[in-house]
Amino acid sequence: MCGRFSLLGTPEEIEAWFDLMELEAFPPRFNIAPTQPILMVVSGETPPPGSNRSNRRALLVRWGFIPGWVKDTANYPLMINARSETAIEKASFKTAMRHRRALVPASGFYEWRRTGGKKAQAFWIRPRNGGIVAFAGLYEPWANAEGSEIDTGAILTTSANENLRFIHDRMPVVIEQKDFARWLDCKTQEPRHVADLMKPAQADFFEAIPVSDKVNNFANTGPEIQERVAETLEERKKPARAKPPEPDDQMKLF
């Protein structure tokens, strides 16, 4: 799965990589957590003939997908990920898979290795050669009973590649730059036409760096959470399943 990630590129770097224009300034984000706003790149209106403007646009969405037909979010699970193998079959995601595919700019993601009753070891997983990566995403507008609308989104996952499987059995789907146009083209490319893109990244694409448990707290948002540490598997005193953190009001979209 993908429960935390990071976006450290500058607006100018992201504009160049994703062929965007006029991206608003934003600071580096080292610890992006569920329910916080995340940047997505989606297909926009086709520019007129002779225009040099891109048909892509940036969209800020709440990380936590809500299908448009949901009425009561209090009893609906927080869906930050969608399994790429079954998304087209699931009522929650099948419409977005057909009409609202997106790219999620990132610099890498975090994952935790859990071994029995031992303390989970966090890893910062980033492209081995640095730079920006694009996760496959889905987005969906959702409106409450009062008519207030918000865009929501999820990251698609697939089986982990052989180099990351020792940490977790899932990883985000990575879309290569050469495939951006095909992935975003929901007019002519049905889900079956882009199924080949939803595969694990090459084994040597990412490197996994053990980091401290500072990343567990969404309030820790500085570069120190990505510093390498010696791997540890100390026993937990009270094993417990971690609950997704609630971000502060400044970072809430919903």
What does the radius of gyration of the chain's CA atoms come to, in whole angstroms?
A: 18
Name the residue among 177, 221, 187 with its Cα closest to residue 5: 221
Distance CA 226, CA 207 (A): 13
Indicate which residue of 13, 45, 85, 111 is catalytic: 111
Measured between alpha carbons, how far is 117 from 123 in angstroms, rounded to an integer? 18
CB atoms within 10 A of CB 118: 14
111 annotated active-site: yes
Q: Which two tokens stand for residue 233?
A: 């598997």
Tokens of 193: 């036409």
Residue 231 a catalytic site member:
no
3-state SS assignment for residue 235: strand
Catalytic, out of 2, 13, 89, 231:
2
Per DSSP, the residues of 190-254 read -GGGSGGG-SPPPTTTEEEEEE-GGGGSTT--SGGGGSB-----PBPSS--PPPPPPPPGGG---
Catalytic residues: 2, 111
